[in-house]
């Protein structure tokens, strides 16, 4: 018994690595990584479903913009139209018929994930369709439109609200959007 302890302690100094082998196959992906993988698959499926199907190498920012618009039908964020009496109200007292859209924060985070995934799958940063200026312009327009329609003061950057805005990129907040 005592010899085992001695053997063990003699090994100790050389390497601090543990002998535990984490099961690499079953190692769960982080929330971000698994979400990124899901997004990437969704986008790939979207390209395949186009007629004619779009190869990833042919994909440009127009496909990305179409993809973002396509996603709006699955959105959960009420964005009031100009004619709506609740336009600009953060918490309307009653439901209305305005469309549900993808929240700006979730689109912004989505683009970030897809942009990373594109390069992880061998795409070059120069041709990354998720990194183009058109995408940034589109996201900015969505942000400003939703800020006005929903009465969210995104523009007040001097206050500490910055952190709250960044927080909207978390998927959890998307799910928590109430009607």
Which residue lies nearer to Zn ion by CB, 47 or 96? Answer: 96
Which residue lies nearer to Zn ion by CB, 85 or 164? Answer: 85
Residue 116 contacts Zn ion per CB under 5 A: no
Residue 174 contacts Zn ion per CB under 5 A: no
Provide, rounded to whole angstroms, the least separation between the CB of residue 142 and Zn ion: 17
Which residue lies nearer to Zn ion by CB, 1 or 97? Answer: 97
Which residue lies nearer to Zn ion by CB, 47 or 84? Answer: 84
The interface region with Zn ion, picked from 14-22, 42-50, 89-97, 122-130 by CB under 5 A, is: 89-97
Which residue lies nearer to Zn ion by CB, 100 or 116? Answer: 100
Neighbours of 105 (CB within 10 A): 25
> How far, CA to CA in Å, does 120 sit from each of 22, 116, 123, 129?
24, 6, 7, 14
Provide, rounded to whole angstroms, the least separation between the CB of residue 92 and Zn ion: 7
Interacting positions 65-84 with Zn ion (CB under 5 A): 80, 84
Question: At how many degrees (to 10) do helices 31-49 and 104-120 cross?
Answer: 80
Residue 150 contacts Zn ion per CB under 5 A: no
Query: Of 98, 135, 165, 174, which lies in the binding site for Zn ion, with binding defined by CB under 5 A?
Result: 98
Triad 107, 117, 75: Cα angle to 5°: 20
Separation of alpha carbons 73 and 75, rounded Å: 6
Residue 43 contacts Zn ion per CB under 5 A: no
Query: Of 47, 71, 96, 147, which lies in the binding site for Zn ion, with binding defined by CB under 5 A?
Result: 96
- How would you label 52-81 residue by residue, b for 16+ Cβ within 10 Å and e otherwise? eebeeeebebebbbebbeebeeebebbbbe
Neighbours of 13 (CB within 10 A): 7
Residue ranges that bind Zn ion, judged by CB under 5 A: 80, 84, 86, 96, 98
């Amino acid at each position: 018994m005592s010899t085992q302890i001695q053997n063990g302690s003699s090994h100790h100094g050389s390497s601090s690595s543990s002998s535990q082998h984490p099961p690499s196959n079953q190692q769960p992906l982080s929330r971000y990584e698994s979400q990124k993988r899901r997004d990437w698959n969704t986008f790939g499926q979207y390209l395949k479903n186009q007629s004619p199907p779009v190869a990833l190498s042919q994909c440009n920012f127009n496909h990305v913009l179409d993809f973002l618009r396509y996603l709006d039908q699955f959105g959960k964020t009420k964005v009031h139209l100009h004619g709506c009496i609740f336009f600009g109200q953060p918490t309307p007292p009653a439901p209305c018929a305005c469309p549900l859209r993808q929240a700006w924060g979730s689109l912004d985070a989505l683009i970030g994930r897809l942009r990373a995934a594109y390069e992880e799958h061998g795409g070059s940063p120069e041709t990354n369709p998720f990194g183009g200026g058109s995408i940034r312009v589109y996201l900015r327009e969505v942000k400003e439109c939703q800020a006005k329609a929903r009465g969210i003061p995104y523009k007040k950057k001097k206050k500490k609200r910055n952190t709250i805005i960044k927080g909207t990129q978390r998927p959890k907040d998307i799910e928590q959007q109430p009607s």
